Structure 1
Amino acid sequence: MKKIRTISLSLAALAAMTVAGGAFAQSAGTFQVRLGAIHIAPSVSSGDLGPPSLPGSKIDVEADTQLGGGITYMVTDNIALDVPLALPFKHRIKGDGAVAGTGELGHTRSLPMSLFGQWRFGEANAKFRPYVGGGLTYAKFYKETASNTLSSITGGSPSVPTTMSIQSKLAPTLIIGMVYSINERWFVEAMVGKTFIKTKTTLSTGQTIDARLNPTTAALSVGYRF
């Protein structure tokens, strides 16, 4: 987290040093690249772990922040295509409901891959341009690791520990954001998005649990257009 904050502050300082007069064009044919921090916070609605298990055994998923950014192409003066990019996220999975307080049940890596369309308000040379948009996100889950706690509540043993697998899913995403031009080339961008995703976790014991993750994504970055 400290590393991400340091990089973001350094980028902001670099952009501030280049402030100069000129147009702030985000016109058709313009490419924009950006770098900053991305925070993903799941809003989990969990089903119950399948039997045999304690009734009401549910899960929760913690948030994570990583270095990220993206590439944007202005198709017209108002329509843009955007591809967000980020390092993989690591999410801790905790017990909830009847097993709340048991601690970490496991963790997983996730790599969201998205393509968004945006409508940017205002003129191409406006200094401040809010936007709305949406698209599709493919949430790739991998390197799922179960804890000893999960093994203990699902009947696993040290010799045959419980393992888990999380389904990767394609889901819709809605976004809102803004771009503030520092000068002709440099800009600051902020974005908030909501992805609507339901997935299933399958344990090596045969038990399954469904959960709506519906994460909120927040990103703050410094960018350069050319």
Structure 2
Amino acid sequence: MSKTKKLQLIAAAALLASAFSTQAQTAGSWLARIGATNISPDVTSGNLTAPSLPGTKVDINDSTQLGGGITYMLTDNWAVDLPLAMPFKHTLSGDGAIAGVGKLGDVKALPFTLLGQYRFMAPNAQLRPYVGAGITYAKFYHSRSTGVLSSLTGGSPTTFTVDSKWAPTVQLGVVFNVNDKLFVDTMISKTWLKTTSHLSTGQTIDTKLDPISMSIGIGMRFR
């Protein structure tokens, strides 16, 4: 085979490979992922309003659920991301002056988040770090109290609700492109969220949750 022919074949192969690989995360691509998401509240509790023991506070545990999301590439670098997950169930327990009393109740949370992202590197890069920022609506529902809460507050029984709130969210992540279609996405985000719980006894308690979310998922590119 002549040198010219070899160069032509090499150039054609390179062009074909480039055309194939640059579609990994280009403008107009839809990316869908599924995996697991953990939400860990960084709790700063206020005091339960009177009548209550001074320093009556609450703590809230973390929760892990099936998660994922959908991303649309506006350009080769800019994207809109919609994280998705099953409802998270969080346990409320005593803290401060009532630390150690045990479980006070639980509540389900379903965060709705919309993020704008900037993805670094070229669309066909194997590793693509990204940053994101957006807004979250934290929906709290299906709260259930325990006898412990009722005994502390004198209700018969004491029930409670948690206010749903809007809050800002920032995000940091990285995508590992396995090939033109498959990828692995890992992400951590922070939401600045403060809410108020209302007891059936008329008492309230303000709680700064500021949750940190971590997720990992396997995804596929669609167009």
Tell whether 2:172 aligns with 1:173: no
C-alpha distance in structure 2 between counterparts of 1:121 and 1:218, whole Å: 20
Match of 1:93 in 2: 92
Q: TM-score, normalised by structure 1?
A: 0.88
Q: TM-score, normalised by structure 2?
A: 0.90
Q: Which runs of 5+ in 2 are unaligned?
A: 1-17
Written as runs of structure 1 = structure 2, the 5 A alignment for 1:31-50 is: 31-50=30-49
Written as runs of structure 1 = structure 2, the 5 A alignment for 1:51-130 is: 51-130=50-129
Shift, 1:127, TM fit: 1.1
C-alpha distance in structure 2 between counterparts of 1:99 and 1:124, whole Å: 53
Cα deviation per residue 1:113-145 (whole Å; 9 max; x = unaligned)? Answer: 000000000111111100001100000000011
Cα deviation per residue 1:76-114 (whole Å; 9 max; x = unaligned)? Answer: 010000001100000000000000000000000000000
Count of residue pairs the alignment pairs up: 203
Output the amino acid matched with 1:135: G
Cα deviation per residue 1:20-70 (whole Å; 9 max; x = unaligned)? Answer: x95162110000000000000000000000000000000000000000100
Output the amino acid matched with 1:76: T
Q: Which ranges of 4 or more aligned residues in structure 1 deviate by more than 6 Å?
A: none
Output the amino acid matched with 2:85: A
Output the amino acid matched with 1:140: K
C-alpha distance in structure 1 between counterparts of 2:37 and 2:161, whole Å: 25
C-alpha distance in structure 2 between counterparts of 1:36 and 1:125, whole Å: 23
Output the amino acid matched with 2:171: I
Match of 2:181 in 1: 185
What RMSD, in angstroms, separates the aligned Cα atoms of the two structures? 1.0
Tell whether 2:21 aligns with 1:23: yes
Match of 2:206 in 1: 210
C-alpha distance in structure 2 between counterparts of 1:200 and 1:134, whole Å: 25
C-alpha distance in structure 2 between counterparts of 1:28 and 1:126, whole Å: 14
Structure ID, larger Rg = 2
Output the amino acid matched with 1:175: Q
**Structure 2 SS opposite 1:151:** helix
Cα deviation per residue 1:183-204 (whole Å; 9 max; x = unaligned)? Answer: 1100000000000000000000
C-alpha distance in structure 1 between counterparts of 2:122 and 2:189, whole Å: 24
Query: Kindly, what percent of the aligned residue pairs are identical?
Result: 54
Match of 1:142 in 2: 141
